[in-house]
Chains A and B, each alone.
Chain A
Amino acid sequence: MSKRKERIDRGIKVRSEDIFALLSWKEMLYLAGPRVLPVAVFLILPLLLGPYWQKVLLSVGVFALLAISWDVMAQTGMVSLGQALFFGMGAYVAGICNHLLGLPPWLAIPVATVAGAFLCTLVLVPVLRLRGVYFSMVTMIIPLMLVRLIEATKIFGGTEGLSGMTPLGSRWIELYLIMAVMAAVLFGFRRLMESDRGLVLKAVNDNDRSVINAGINIYWIKTQVLFAAGAVGAFAGAFMTHIYMFVGMPVFALDYSILPIAAAVVGGPGSLAGATLGAFILVPLSEALRGIGGLRIVFYGLFLVVFIVALPEGIFHFLQRKYHQFERWVEVQ
């Protein structure tokens, strides 16, 4: 006498799938809820928090952007272990623009976003042919090497870095800038992934040789994704530079590579929303654990393992399933 779990779509999901959703408020709310909720959170959260947690919210935004850019690349078959490359490139370009060339932040950040993404793409284009773990290893090594290179050649301030960047002005500009960019990137990339172009991107991940067979140049596709993801990461770096008014070797640190992956894994890879959710959970958690000092990295590592082993789909997919479907145990015939 054994049982199995049966998952069935909720009635409301089926009813709200076509135009008849417009007949009732309940169905419209069912459809709009998941889309409005994050925007509402992005808008209201800055107003509710105190100055300390507002600062945390800024780094939540930065890590969410990095996690989204990781997820976009991972969905195209490029699993990066070095988001720090994008982050650091953006940060250094912004630092150089502002500190050495004297550009104001509203010019330095866009310039750093584009130029940083361009530089990252240039660095990674020669290794686009590599697949799987080999690509990951290259991305892991490049930031490590850049750190040592800056240390050895003492360019751009060497070990001391560049400091004294122009701040953005008010805390509210900072908060709503990062929230707006996060919302734009999240919904923009989600829309892209739903489109035909997104289908091609996912196909590159699933079976790149058959995409080549279809007469599509996968290297050009990968280059585009690299540039887009690089721009998101570089923006995060440039933004952080102007928040901390400092750029130095720590921008290439392992944190900026590991934390975004952790966020995407915990939240649920392959949905972008999961990556954002993961950042909203992990960054405040690590802030709350600051009291126990070095132990928090221990928890972090264990957290990663538990999620990879026990809940590989991530939190977002779990919630999504509960939202759309109900489950029941049925007798096996």
Chain B
Amino acid sequence: MKKFFTIFLLYAQHALEYKARSFVWFFVILIDVGVYLLYWRGVLLGPQAGAIWTLPKAISYYLLLLVAGTFLQVHIEEEVAFEDIQYGRLSQYLLRPFSYLGFKFFQELPWRIMQGGFGLITLVGISVLTRRVEVTFHPEMVLPVISIILSAFILCFFYKMIVGIIAFWTIDYSGLQNIQAIIYILFSGILIPLHLLPEAIRGFALAQPIAYTLYYPVLAVQGVFSQEVLWRVLGTQWMWIALLYGLYRIMWIRGLRQFTAVGQ
């Protein structure tokens, strides 16, 4: 465990050194979320409000999404696909006596903490200044909500690792990278809350694993779920974590055979 803590500290230094990059990433999500909030503000202040959504709920949703997006949205897949697999740096990890998965996990963590910090400061600032963030708080929900948040990070991490190691089988990963980015924006709830999607895709959107990385954690923090539903969400997250971990292991073993036999 000590070596993973060392890796964490090393990349924490890296994150501190390149804090400007983290700030830019934060601004990217801030703009995306801000624009959608701006759109809904105008719509929900109009005559069509209430029937769709309420403004306080929309503000809470997007501000919490800002924090969730900065803290929970893992970005490891590009480095795994381009740097490690396609440019061959994976060999360095394979020669070392520790888990590649563990290394990547503790490498990503400091970046999430730093960017999540920016998001949290923004959320607290806006909450204090505008008092428009609606969160229903019950003490007995704290444990399941925190568990959902932490599980969301782990789930997103496994999902992105799977997306990254698909590069074992592709010559050019960039097309896939674009498709997965679009799918993630659509099905994580960044663009629009999943319960507002058209009926034709709503059912699928609410059941698929990406929804459990951002959408459900945001709703959990908002306090819209009962305790029973919270535990069910947590259970579903861990079901997806187990499935994705299993898929990752299978793909990793097969991909490694491909990598070491053929190289890149």
A and B held together in a complex: no
